[in-house]
């Protein structure tokens, strides 16, 4: 399994994001519409502002995470997703660690993220990894939990 920095508009990245959005639509009460979400623009997830990491196994994309930056010391983790066939292998933790490493390399010192209580495995992952719950920091209609981590 490899983790690589890729263009978030590439076909493998778009395939992961489409699968992520489809899964959210089935898990969120009322569904999910990416047009209503605070969807990051691709440039915010490309160096030097951020990065988009893709996990690949057997030549197939099996997970992703975005680091959305604005050139400053604070950035957001966005769109963490693992293919159901690859879950339980610690890949989400590896992607999050890789995103934190990339953030440090870009001079980012504080990370934030948001999630929904319909994703209990995400909540558990963030809490276990030392993320601290904070007040709402955006107006996205979907999240109901907000976290921060100082690097």
Q: What is the pLDDT of residues 102-150, one digit of tens each?
A: 999 999 999 999 999 999 999 999 999 999 999 999 999 999 999 999 9
Dihedral sign computed on CA atoms, order 47, 52, 55, 59: negative
Set out the domains of the chain in order of their start, with CATH numbers: 2-150 (3.40.630.30)
Confidence (pTM): 0.96
DSSP per-residue string spanning 1-17 = -EEEE--TTSHHHHHHH
Instruction: State the Cα–Cα distance between residues 119 and 68, nearest whole angstrom.
Output: 21
Contact in structure between 62 and 54 (CB atoms under 8 Å): no
End-to-end alpha-carbon separation of the chain, Å? Answer: 26
**What is the model's pLDDT at position 140?**
95
Statement: residue 40 has pLDDT above 90: no
**What is the model's pLDDT at position 131?**
98
**What is the model's pLDDT at position 87?**
97
Q: What is the pLDDT of residues 44-60, one digit of tens each?
A: 999 999 999 999 999 99
């Amino acid at each position: 399994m490899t983790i690589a920095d890729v263009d978030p508009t590439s076909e493998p990245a778009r395939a992961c994001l489409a699968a992520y959005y489809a899964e959210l639509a089935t898990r969120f009460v009322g569904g999910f519409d990416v047009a209503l979400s605070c969807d990051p623009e691709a440039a915010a997830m490309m160096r030097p502002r951020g990065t988009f990491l893709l996990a690949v196994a057997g030549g197939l994309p099996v997970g992703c995470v975005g680091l959305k930056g604005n050139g400053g010391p604070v950035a957001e983790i966005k769109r963490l997703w693992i293919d159901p066939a690859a879950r339980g292998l610690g890949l989400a933790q590896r992607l999050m660690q890789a995103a934190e490493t990339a953030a440090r390399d870009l001079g980012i010192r504080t990370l934030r993220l948001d999630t929904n209580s319909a994703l209990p495995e995400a909540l558990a992952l963030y809490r276990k990894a030392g993320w601290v719950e904070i007040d709402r920091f955006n107006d996205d209609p979907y999240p109901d939990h907000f976290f921060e981590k100082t690097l």
